Structure 1
Amino acid sequence: MEFVVVQDIFLTETAKYADVILPAATFAEKDGSFINTERRVQLIHRAIKPRGQSKPDWEIIQALAQRFNLNWNYSSPEEIWDEVRELT
C-alpha cells in the first residue's frame, strides 16, 4: 500500500504500519450512538474527557471533510443524529 491511515483507540498491528494514526476516543470518552447487531440504536454518554489528543469519531471525520472543502459544520453528535432522522 502506498499510504495507510488508521483511526483507532489502540496501537494495533495495522496501526504500526500506518503513515498516519488518528487517535479515536473510547466509548467512555464520547457521546453519541451506534447500531448494535440487532439493528437497534443504542445511546452512549461520555463518562470522562478524551485523553491526550484523542477525539470522538465524528470530530475526526468532520475535520477531514473540512480539509476536503466539504460543507460539514456539525457542533455535536445530536446535530448529526437530527440530520440522520430527517433522511430516514
Structure 2
Amino acid sequence: MPQLDCCCFEGFMVFQNIKSWWNGTVTPYENDPDGAGFIIGVSTDRHWTSSATRAVWGFVKREWKWVVATFLAIVALLLAYASIP
C-alpha cells in the first residue's frame, strides 16, 4: 500500500484553520442551576480580526458598485502617473 505524504493535506488543514477562525467558537448559554428559568441558545465568540474582516466584507458586499469604481479610478490614475516620463 503506498504511503501518502502529508504535503497533499496541508492545504486542507489551512482551509480548516481559516474556517475555524472565520466562524469562531460557539458556546451554549450557561444557566443558573438555582434560577427560576432557563435560556436556550448559543453565543458565538469571534477573534477581533474575524469581526473586522466581516465588517469590511459586509461593507464591500453592500456598496460594491462605487467601491469597484473608486478602485479602478485609483488604479487608472496610478498607471497614468507611472507612464509620465
TM-score (norm 2): 0.24
Determine which structure has the larger helix proportion and give its number: 2
Determine which structure has the larger strand proportion and give its number: 1
TM-score (norm 1): 0.23
Higher gyration radius (CA): 2
